[in-house]
């Protein structure tokens, strides 16, 4: 059926069903049609969205709002809702549609491949703010996830300040950049409670976080040079993955004893790359309680990290919960708590 | 024959807006929650009047219900690719007016499966459309049409204002005219009296 359909004249209930069945990007298109279509979406949309709204400033020239899909923990398909891109010289914007957002007329066009609207701006940061306000108002939801680089760090602050709902996931990723002390402290202090935090950028030299570590279900830090034993002992996480730390085997021994005594009670997977691993030091004082298991076991954590545990020491806590302590050459120590828990990315 | 019995053999008579009646099986009719709430337990003594909908629409709706009698319980709309050939034909052979009528009737009769399929089909039809295309599909006036409409309305308003002004002017004139005979009367009377006075004084 390709003939016209007077959507705004169908009865209330089926109209609401149609709105509920529509994809977020199509709803954004529909909202631009008229004030009435905009208010119909606002009042009729009842179903929760399939996914969480992610705001992402990928580079200086483009930003996205999307309901991302994860496949085995990876962002495979970008379900974009609306994007903001920078004006470039060789495109004729006059021939494009103009819609009203945030009280201003904005040039837009359809991304034919993926079916979402691209809006064009002189300044994509301003554009991202306007489209974020527009979409969160239209769908009456808050931003859940944010992916920012060093240059778009301010978006984390902006999103955090404009809503009461805490952010669920924060990716602060910039492979070549060094974060400032203020930025790291801001994320660790003011983005809580947070379910997932990934930080993939270098810390400033000699940075330490001396306060109580925030409760973060899934922590993934690529440059963990700043992590201290005190940080480990105040953590309360489920999946903790730390790369490039300067923690020692003695530190890990203390952490293991801390876990055996009931510390970090929700822990399922701890994975840290140390300077070097000495299993005797790690298990110092615990060998009587440890059972060596030679078999290879496959372990998947609640947040989807998978590890092969080829040999390892099983240690049992007083309440009967068992963890496998596994050394993965050359410098990684893994603590995997049984039983495995099925993961759920959304 | 109408009866509250639950056997699928039972037929019910349905009356359309034209006053025509036709048979629908109990099993098909029971897919309508409206029917279930209104007639299932108490039965119906004559044709069941669904007189807000024409015969063609009701027949189409119940054709779907008869077809899906033996399908498993409804568990959300299927993906387009999962629709059977029969389902695809059923939707494809409807024109726009019939489609809207079927949605309205299905909504009134509260037939979950059919309403959902119809709604999902429309949602799918709106996928990947830009605003201009969307405006055409949902038959909204475009910005140009709205502007033209506004101009026409402004013209109409200006014309109406002119007419109103003219009417007010005319009313004012009428008022003056209405006043004129009185003045004339006074003047005439005054003239008469003056003439009388003059004639007296001449006598």
Q: Is the pLDDT of residue B81 over 90?
A: no
Contacts of residue B106 in chain A, CB cutoff 8 Å? 14
A44 and A30 in contact (C-beta within 8 Å)? no
Would an 8 Å CB–CB cutoff place B26 in contact with chain A? Answer: no
Residues B148-176: tens digit of each pLDDT: 878 888 888 888 888 888 888 887 776 66
Q: Do B126 and A3 touch (CB under 8 A)?
A: no
Residue B176 resides in a domain = no
| Residue A171 pLDDT level (bands cut at 50, 70, 90) | very high
- Summarised one tens digit per residue, pLDDT across range B9-28 is 688 889 999 999 999 988 89
Has residue A26 got a pLDDT over 90? yes
List chain B residues with CB under 8 Å of A30. 126, 134, 138
CB-based contact, A46 to chain B, within 8 Å = no
What's the Cα-to-Cα distance from A273 to each of A127, A221, A288, A345, rounded to whole Å?
40, 11, 26, 24
Q: What is the pLDDT of residue B56?
A: 94
Q: Which of A6-20, A46-60, B36-50 has the lowest mean pLDDT?
A: B36-50
Model confidence band, residue B3 (pLDDT cutoffs 50, 70, 90) = very low
**Looking at residue B87, which CATH number applies to its domain?**
3.30.710.10
Minimal CA separation from A119 to chain B, in Å: 12
* Residue B181, pLDDT above cutoff 70: no
By percentage, how much of chain B surpasses pLDDT 90?
Answer: 20
Distance of CA A142 to the CA centre of its chain: 15
Domain range holding B54? 11-137
The C-alpha of B179 sits at a distance from chain A's nearest C-alpha, in angstroms, of: 54
C-beta atoms of A14 and B119 within 8 A: yes
Shortest Cα distance, chain A CAs vs residue B126, angstroms: 7
- pLDDT given for residue B198 in this prediction: 61
Q: What is the overall mean pLDDT for chain B?
A: 79
Cis peptide before A330 (omega within 30 of 0): yes
Interchain proximity B123–A26, CB inside 8 Å: yes
- The band of B76, judged by pLDDT with boundaries at 50, 70 and 90, is low
With bands split at pLDDT 50, 70 and 90, how would you rate the model's confidence at A8?
Answer: confident
How much of chain A, in percent, has pLDDT values that exceed 70? 94
In a domain, B126, yes or no: yes
Kindly report, residue by residue over A269-327, the tens digit of the pLDDT.
999 999 899 999 999 999 988 999 999 999 999 998 999 999 899 999 999 999 999 99
Closest CA in chain A for residue B142: A33
Task: Pick A275 or A60 by higher pLDDT.
Answer: A275
Residue B146 in domain: no
Contact B118, A14 (CB under 8 A): yes
Nearest residue of B to residue A117, measured between CA atoms: B130
Residue of B nearest to A110 (CA): B130
Please say if the pLDDT value at position A192 is more than 80.
Answer: no
**How confident is the model at residue A71, as a pLDDT?**
59
What is the band of B5 on the pLDDT scale with cuts at 50, 70, 90? very low
B84 domain-assigned: yes
Question: Which pLDDT score, from 0 to 100, does residue B2 have?
Answer: 47
User: Complex ipTM, two decimals?
Assistant: 0.76
Domain count, chain B: 1
Task: Answer whether A1 touches B (CB < 8 Å).
Answer: yes
- Overall average pLDDT of the A99-120 stretch: 90
Residue A333 has a pLDDT of 96
Q: Which residue has the higher pLDDT, B58 or A176?
A: B58
Q: Is the pLDDT of residue A328 over 80?
A: yes
Q: Tell me which residues of chain B, numbers 168 to 197, contact chain A at a CB-CB cutoff of 8 Å.
A: none
Band of the pLDDT at A227, cuts 50, 70, 90?
very high
Long-range contacts of B101-105 (CB under 8 A, 24+ apart): B101/B53, B101/B54, B101/B56, B101/B57, B101/B60, B102/B57, B102/B60, B102/B61, B103/A10, B103/A11, B103/A14, B104/A10, B104/A11, B104/A14, B104/B53, B104/B57, B105/B50, B105/B52, B105/B53, B105/B57, B105/B58, B105/B61
- List the B11-15 sheet strands across, edge first: B21-25, B11-15, B48-49
């Amino acid at each position: 059926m390709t003939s016209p359909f007077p959507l705004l004249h169908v009865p209330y209930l089926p109209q609401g069903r149609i709105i509920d069945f529509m994809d977020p990007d199509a709803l954004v298109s529909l909202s631009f049609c008229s004030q009435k279509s905009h208010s119909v979406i606002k009042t009729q949309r009842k179903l929760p969205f399939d996914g969480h709204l992610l705001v992402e400033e990928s580079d200086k020239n483009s930003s996205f709002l999307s309901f991302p899909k994860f496949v085995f923990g990876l962002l495979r398909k970008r379900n974009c809702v609306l994007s903001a891109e920078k004006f470039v010289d060789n495109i004729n914007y006059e021939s494009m549609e103009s819609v009203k957002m945030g009280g201003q007329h904005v040039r837009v066009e359809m991304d034919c491949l993926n079916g979402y609207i691209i809006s064009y701006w002189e300044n994509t940061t301003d554009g991202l703010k306007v489209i974020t306000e527009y979409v969160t108002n239209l769908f009456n939801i808050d931003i859940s996830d944010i992916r920012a680089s060093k240059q778009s760090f301010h978006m984390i602050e902006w999103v955090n300040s404009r809503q009461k709902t805490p952010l669920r996931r924060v990716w602060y990723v910039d492979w070549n950049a060094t974060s400032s002390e203020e930025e790291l402290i801001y994320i660790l202090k003011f983005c809580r409670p947070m379910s997932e935090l990934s930080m993939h950028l270098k810390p400033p030299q000699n940075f330490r976080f001396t306060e109580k570590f925030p409760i973060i279900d899934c922590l993934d830090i690529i440059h963990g040079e700043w992590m201290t034993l005190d940080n480990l002992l105040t953590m309360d996480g489920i999946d903790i993955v730390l790369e490039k730390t300067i923690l020692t085997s003695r530190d890990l021994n203390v952490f293991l004893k801390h876990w055996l005594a009931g510390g970090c009670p929700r822990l399922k997977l701890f994975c840290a790359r140390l300077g070097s691993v000495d299993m005797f030091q790690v298990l110092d004082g615990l060998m009587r309680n440890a059972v060596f298991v030679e078999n290879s076991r496959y372990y998947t954590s609640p947040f989807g990290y998978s590890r092969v545990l080829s040999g390892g020491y099983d240690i049992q806590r007083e309440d009967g919960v068992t963890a496998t302590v596994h050394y993965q050459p050359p410098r990684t120590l893994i603590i995997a708590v049984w039983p495995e828990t099925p993961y759920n990315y959304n | 024959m109408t009866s509250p019995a639950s056997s699928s053999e039972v037929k019910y008579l349905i009356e359309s807006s034209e006053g025509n009646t036709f048979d629908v099986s109990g099993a098909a009719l029971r897919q309508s929650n409206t029917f279930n709430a209104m007639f299932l337990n108490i039965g119906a003594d004559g044709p069941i009047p669904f007189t807000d909908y024409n015969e063609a629409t009701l027949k189409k709706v119940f054709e779907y219900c008869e077809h899906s009698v033996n399908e498993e319980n409804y568990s959300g709309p299927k993906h387009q690719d999962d629709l059977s050939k029969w389902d695809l034909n059923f939707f494809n052979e409807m024109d726009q007016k019939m489609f809207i009528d079927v949605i309205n009737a299905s909504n009134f009769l509260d037939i979950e499966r059919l309403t959902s399929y119809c709604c999902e089909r429309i949602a799918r039809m709106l996928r990947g459309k830009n605003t201009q295309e969307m405006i055409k599909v949902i038959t909204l006036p475009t910005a140009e049409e709205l502007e033209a409409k506004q101009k026409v309305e402004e013209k109409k308003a200006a014309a109406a204002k002119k007419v109103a002004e003219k009417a007010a002017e005319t009313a004012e004139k009428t008022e003056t005219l209405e006043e004129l005979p009185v003045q004339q009367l006074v003047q005439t009377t005054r003239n008469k009296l003056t003439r009388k006075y003059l004639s007296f004084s001449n006598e």
